[in-house]
Amino acid sequence: MPKGSNTICKFCGQEKNLIKAHIIPKKFYLGIKEDKCLCINSKTGEYIIQQQGGYDSNILCGDCDNHIIGEFDKEGYRILFGDFSKYKYIQLHPQYRIYQLDNTKFDYEKLRRFFISILWRASISKLEEWSNINLGGYEKKAFEILKGKRTYDELFKILIYKNCYSEDINQEVLIAKGKTRTFKKYLIQMAGYRIEIIVDSSRLTKKYKQQYEKYFLNQTFAHIIETPEVSQRINKEHNTRMFELYEKGFVPPKPPGI
């Protein structure tokens, strides 16, 4: 297979040699084994085994992927795989852990763009496994945020959850639509994290805002939340998918650990 194809990069708009650009950075695939990764199809919900993680060879050139979007990826990796003992710990409830980083510990613009860039990459991809991820009119706004042209502070509000359990569910990689009645959100699950991204916060209910608004990623603080409630939900969804797979006789690869 050729290294790339000579066509238009979706980020810089120039005709360049395109590369295998990962939708979710490869470092977040904990289930990697001999360059094979366990992914979940966003449209069908089925597991698929992919070589070298989920990538698209038709969206980005090497310069944009490595030197622009790649810088966002580095900040995401630095924070999510950081030394949690150095983060301020807040305990509002015996079963809740919240790690708080002030703005001297993280780059807000890069971290926000990291999460938005994953959604944007999935939205512009024409691959079948990402076909259920479609930002519609918000795709252009996401692109403007990534390019630094606009901020759209009311859009793409981000909650960061960390799974409490060190189990096989931490190997799962998926991007999916969240189930809500009043607003649109997406879930990104990778390396034991569940990232919830609310596309347009102006549509949030008053109750939701009161409960979660202060924990959205913002210019002052980044919060990483560990709650049994969310972890149990992740575990339940994982068990349902695994039961369906085991019925088909399929055993997914094991992760090397966290």
For the entire predicted model, the pTM comes to 0.82
d(CA 12, CA 250): 41
Give the integer Cα–Cα distance in Å for 187 and 119.
9
Range of the domain at 223: 9-247
Asked whether residue 257 is assigned to any structural domain, the reply reads: no
Distance CA 213, CA 168 (A): 31
Task: Answer whether 212's CB lies under 8 Å from 178's CB.
Answer: no
What is the DSSP code (8-state) at residue 31? T
CA distance 57 to 79: 27
Q: Is residue 2 part of a domain?
A: no
pLDDT per position as a tens digit, 206-232: 888 888 899 999 999 999 988 766 666
Q: Average pLDDT, whole number, for the chain?
A: 82
Give the mean model confidence (pLDDT) for residues 226-241: 67
Residues 193-207 have a mean pLDDT of 92
Residue given tokens 């369906």 in the structure block: 244
What would the pLDDT profile of 104-129 be if each residue is shown by its tens digit? 999 999 999 999 999 999 999 988 88
Give domain status of residue 252, yes or no.
no
Q: Percent of the chain scored above 70 by pLDDT?
A: 72
- Beta strands 174-177 and 185-190 are antiparallel
DSSP 18: B
Tell me which residue of 118, 5, 16, 14 sits closest to 57, measured CA to CA. Answer: 5
Question: What is the average pLDDT across 15-44?
Answer: 74
With tokens 């944009």, the residue in question is 64
- Give yes or no for residue 168 having a pLDDT over 80: no
Distance CA 33, CA 26 (A): 12
Our count of domains for the chain comes to 1
* pLDDT average, residue stretch 92-99: 75
So what's the pLDDT on residue 121? 97
For residue 63, is it within any domain?
A: yes
Rg, Å, the chain Cα set: 18
Cβ partners under 8 Å of residue 186, min gap 6: 119, 133, 175, 176, 177, 178, 196, 197, 199
- Rounded Cα distance, 198 and 214, in Å: 14
**Residues 158, 197 contacting (CB under 8 angstroms):** yes
Tell me if 42 is assigned to some domain.
Answer: yes
Check the CA dihedral 180-186-189-192 and report its sign: negative
* pLDDT confidence band for 235 (50 / 70 / 90): low
Q: What's the pLDDT tens digit per position in 65-84?
A: 999 999 999 999 999 998 87
pLDDT surpasses 60 at 43 = no
Q: How far apart are CA 254 and CA 171, in angstroms?
A: 8
pLDDT(132) > 80: yes
